[in-house]
Amino acid sequence: MRRTTYIVVAGVVLLFGLSWVLHAVSMSGEADGIERAFMITMAAFLTLAIYSFLYKDNPFYKFAEHLYVGVSAAYWMCQAFWSTIVGNLFPRLSEGLSNYFQQPYQASGWNITYWIPVILGIMLLMRLTEKYGWMSRWPLAMIVGTTAGLNFVRYLRSDFVVQVSSTFMPLLGEDPHRWQGFGAFISNLDLSATGQLAAIVSNWVIFFGVICGIIYFYFSKEHSGAFGRASRLGIWILMITFGASFGYTVMGRISLLVGRITFLFRDWLEIIS
């Protein structure tokens, strides 16, 4: 390693230690002050390590990234084991196992079919061995097949049938936003009248937006004349939709940055309350 690298690493370690000591001193009255001080310093270090990627790729970023992936995987595995295998499966399989893990035994819940997921789970783990790796294909096929079957029915209903019917909007409005003519609209220029017009306009936008969007993706006819104009309107609708998505994405990312900066300022540097 170069000399500069040693200096940077030593500086980070020194700052880490200093931050830990200062926080531990300020939390000396609390029972777990030293541990909390370490946690806050660690969280601040990892936050800065991840953001250091914005300058350029570096070992601190790599360390934080790998730690994050490892801790996440371990955390999910432990939670799944204790909540589902210990919490749901063992109490229905064996009284001894239930007592060992201090879970209430469910004698009425015992069913021989609960051994099937146990066997399939073990088969899935066979993937780790070279000789019996083929056995993992069976439970994997079961997972894929079950998911596909469940999703097919649910998506067909909620994302297709209901969505198609939702596109057939009442173009003249409906209660409480039924259109009562321009006379009523002009003479009642208040918030409810505006809401009435907005609801109707939005229904027209949805109706024409869907049709024009579909036309844009219809390639069996040349996009010219009225068909071409509808197709151009379709691409505009799509672009506006993508723009809205982009705007929301920016808002989401900024929120995360706000969260981390608030943590750094409030919990680590303690410069805001």
Partner 1 sequence: MAYLGVIISMLVIFGGLAWLLFRSIKGREVERRVIFVFIFVAVAAPILFPITFEEHASPVVKGLFDHIDTLPPGSRVLISFDYDPAMAPEVQPMANAISFHCLDRGHKVVFMSLWATGQTLLFNTLEDVIRPEFPDLIDGVDFISTGYKAGNEGVLNVIVSDFKKMFPTDVNGVPLDSAVIFDEINSCADFDLIVALGGGRPGPKEWVLFVGDPADVPIGVGVAAVVAPQLYPYYPRQIIGMLGGVKGAAEYESELAHRHERFKNMAQPGLKMMGPQTLAHIVIICFIVIGNVAFFRSRRREGR
Using rule CB under 8 A, residue 273 touches partner 1: no
Using rule CB under 8 A, residue 4 touches partner 1: no
264 with 47: CB under 8 angstroms? yes
Please identify which residue in 163, 187, 192, 194 interacts with partner 1, judged by CB under 8 A.
163
Using rule CB under 8 A, residue 158 touches partner 1: yes
Whole-angstrom distance, CA of residue 220 vs CA of residue 216: 11
User: Measured on CA atoms in the order 37, 41, 44, 47, is the torsion positive or negative?
Assistant: negative
Of residues 80 and 239, the one with the C-beta less far from partner 1: 80
Shortest Cβ distance from residue 115 to partner 1 (Å)? 17
Stretch that binds partner 1, among 12-20, 57-65, 227-235, 244-252 (CB under 8 A): 244-252
Please identify which residue in 54, 112, 128, 226 interacts with partner 1, judged by CB under 8 A.
54
The CA–CA distances, whole Å, from 5 to 31, 41, 42, 273 equal: 38, 22, 21, 36
Which three-class secondary structure state does DSSP give residue 15?
helix
Whole-angstrom distance, CA of residue 221 vs CA of residue 110: 62
Please identify which residue in 100, 115, 152, 248 interacts with partner 1, judged by CB under 8 A.
248
Using rule CB under 8 A, residue 55 touches partner 1: yes
Burial status of residue 159 (CB atoms within 10 A of its CB: 0-12, 13-18, 19 or more)? exposed
Of residues 221 and 253, the one with the C-beta less far from partner 1: 253
Q: Residue 176, preceding bond cis, omega within 30 degrees? A: yes
Size of the site for partner 1 (CB under 8 A): 48
Shortest Cβ distance from residue 184 to partner 1 (Å)? 21
Q: Which of residues 72-131 bind partner 1 (CB under 8 A)?
A: 75-76, 79-80, 83-84, 87-88, 91, 102-104, 106, 109
146: which 2 tokens?
A: 């079950």
The CA–CA distances, whole Å, from 72 to 41, 52, 67, 121, 164 equal: 20, 21, 8, 21, 39
Instruction: Give residues in contact with partner 1 (CB under 8 A).
Output: 54-55, 75-76, 79-80, 83-84, 87-88, 91, 102-104, 106, 109, 146-147, 150-151, 154-155, 157-159, 162-163, 166, 241, 244-245, 248-252, 254-262, 265, 271-272
